[in-house]
């Protein structure tokens, strides 16, 4: 009878051992029903400035620090015209902002600091069709300014 009800009427049947399980299920279902219209509306927005939930949903970082690389990569990607591949190349070379900062401090001249990331190799694509190119002086300078500027109003693209 239960199988017939589920298959022919589209009704879902759940059996619970305790009142606690039953009340947890009712709470979960009520919450899902209450959130459904908001989720549906959010999915239907077609604004170009609305980011996908995978990107805008944030990155979970646990106490062991797992997830910090992804946070650092996403921070780099916030720069204008920085692709996922470019950010991945920076993160591979400098797995934390502190390591990049330390490398900057080891540079002797300002021009050496500004061009530190210029020759960083960026791999685009997969397999036989992949290409490799340099990150370039523009990205290097923008990331340097991001890491060292004391002016919160600095526009990184206009400083080139």
70 and 36 inside one domain: no
Within a domain: 84: yes
Neighbouring C-beta atoms of residue 160, cutoff 10 Å:
9
Is-above-0.85 flag for pTM?
no
pLDDT number for residue 91: 95
73 and 139 inside one domain: yes
Note whether 114 and 160 are within 8 A (CB). no
Beta bridge partner(s), residue 134: 121
Distance CA(31)–CA(28), nearest Å, equals: 5
23 and 84 inside one domain: no
Count: domains in the chain: 2
Domain with 31 in it? 2-41
pLDDT number for residue 48: 47
DSSP E strand boundaries for 34-140: 121-124, 131-134
29 and 79 inside one domain: no
Closest CA to 103 of 84, 89, 117, 92: 117
Least-confidence region, from 30-34, 108-112, 118-122, 153-157 = 153-157
């Amino acid at each position: 009878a239960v199988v017939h009800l589920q298959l022919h009427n589209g009704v879902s049947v759940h059996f619970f051992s305790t009142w606690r399980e039953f009340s947890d299920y009712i709470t979960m279902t009520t919450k899902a029903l209450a959130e459904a219209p908001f989720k549906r509306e959010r999915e239907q927005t077609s604004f170009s400035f609305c980011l996908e939930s995978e990107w805008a949903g944030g990155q979970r970082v646990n106490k062991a620090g797992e997830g910090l690389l992804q946070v650092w990569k996403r921070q780099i990607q916030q720069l204008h015209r920085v692709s996922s591949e470019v950010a991945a190349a920076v993160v591979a070379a400098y797995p934390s902002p502190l390591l990049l900062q330390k490398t900057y401090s080891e540079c002797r001249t300002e021009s050496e600091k500004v061009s530190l990331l210029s020759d960083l190799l960026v791999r685009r694509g997969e397999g036989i069709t992949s290409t490799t190119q340099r990150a370039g002086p523009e990205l290097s300078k923008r990331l340097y300014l991001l890491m060292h500027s004391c002016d919160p109003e600095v526009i990184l693209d206009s400083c080139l």
